[in-house]
Amino acid sequence: MLIRTATPEDWPAIWPFLHRIVAAGETYTYPRDLDEDRARDIWMLEPPSRTVVATDADGTVLGSAKMNPNHMGPGAHIASASFMVAPEHAGRGVGRALGEHVLEWARSEGYQGMQFNAVVESNTRAVALWRSLGFEVVGTVPDAFEHPAKGFVGLHIMHRYL
């Protein structure tokens, strides 16, 4: 697996799985009817932020991550990130590889920690992955996410020092 900076040419491979994941409404706080132009603006970040893709040996995009300062000004020393793995490539270690890559990026850029602002409590695979990479749940906003099947569930705020 290769993880590299995403280019505009990668967007046609990212959009179908990003659209499917967002439309399902189970893991992201994005509007379920997010259109492609707005999605591209949200996902394809410019420096000093960064968007990457994970590809297999034949160049197929398996997943993507975006990383950025969590806040501006006096809060800019804490990074944040978001991740999407194409559902057909789940369970192959793509999320873990992207998570490790993002953590190394944040360290190399001088961030002191990383915070995820909205990890859906019922997304147990993601919560377990982030815990295994050293993140802790520092708080949960109760009933902050309306899951299409489970109703209102909490949103975890997760953090780890770098």
Q: What is the DSSP letter of 95?
A: H
User: Residues 34-87: pLDDT tens digits?
Assistant: 999 999 999 999 998 999 999 999 999 999 999 999 999 999 999 999 999 999
The pLDDT assigned to 15 comes to 98
pTM: 0.94
The pLDDT assigned to 109 comes to 96
Burial of 54 (0-12, 13-18, 19+ CB in 10 A): buried
**Separation in Å, CA 158 to CA 15, 54, 64, 95, 106:** 26, 23, 20, 16, 15
The pLDDT assigned to 55 comes to 97
